[in-house]
Amino acid sequence: MKSKKEEKITRKELMLKLKAIKPKTKEERNKLVCVLIGHSNIQTACFGYFNCARCGDQLGDNLAGVYNATGCVILDHNCKTCRANYKKLDWKDKLYCPDPFKEEKKNG
């Protein structure tokens, strides 16, 4: 028998579970997705704190050099490393996450 960590959930199975649960808001849906498939490797970074770009939960901080964001993509951090890491991510990381390289429209 497989352990919980070894079990793989397909995108179709995830969508069926979400449909059955019927989350009321996008925030609730995103938190449920992270519970079911894990946090995304697309993250936000601010003052040394790293958060999941999907649900907003804090994943770690590097204030004391404890958190290693290797392999992650930092939202709005358009560098070669983040672009290379993004190519390695699968649907579980990208589902319901904002586009990390989306340029904001500038007024004026």
- Is 64 part of a structural domain of the chain? yes
- Is 75 part of a structural domain of the chain? yes
- Is 87 part of a structural domain of the chain? yes
pLDDT digits (tens, 9 = 90+) for 27-55: 999 999 999 999 999 999 998 899 999 99
Mind giving me the DSSP string for 42-62? EEEEETTEEEETTT--EEEE-
What's residue 33's pLDDT?
97
The pLDDT-based confidence of 7 (bands split at 50, 70, 90) is low
CA distance 49 to 91: 24
Tokens of 97: 């996450």
**Number of folded domains that form the chain:** 1
What's residue 104's pLDDT?
56
Residue-number span of the structural domain to which 74 is assigned: 11-94
- Is 3 part of a structural domain of the chain? no
- Is 102 part of a structural domain of the chain? no
What's residue 56's pLDDT?
96
The pLDDT-based confidence of 64 (bands split at 50, 70, 90) is confident
